[in-house]
Amino acid sequence: MADPMRIRAQASGGKATVRILMAHEMESGQRKDEAGHIAPAWYIQEVTASHNGNTVLEAEWGPGVSKNPYLQFVVKGAQAGDTIGVRWKDNRGDTRSDEATVS
């Protein structure tokens, strides 16, 4: 997997809009590959976001989420210079995490 995610966070009016693009194949376990075999399920199950170390978002995903998912949310009270952290875990146990500074 190349870059596990791209995070952008922009502050405006006492809040920050956070945009995340996650690189992941997100296989549902129902699609057949070129050889006609069912591709095993492989998808992000848990997503957690934090603002300066405090959890602001927890999500549980399933196989219905598309490949390379995009997530956007707003964090109240965030200012330029604050840190936004994102961590995800998939059903194979792989985890990825990254941080961005609010601009």
Residue-number span of the structural domain to which 64 is assigned: 6-28+38-102
Inside any domain, residue 60: yes
Provide the pLDDT for residue 2: 53
Beta pairing partners, 75? 16
pTM equals: 0.88
Task: Please give the Cα distance from 92 to 30 (Å, whole number).
Answer: 17
Total count of domains within the chain: 1
Predicted confidence at residue 91, as pLDDT, reads 95
Residue 1 lies in a domain: no
What tens digit of pLDDT does each residue of 7-56 get? 999 999 999 999 999 999 999 989 898 899 999 999 999 999 999 999 99
Over residues 53-92, the pLDDT tens digits come to 999 999 999 999 999 999 999 999 999 999 999 999 999 9
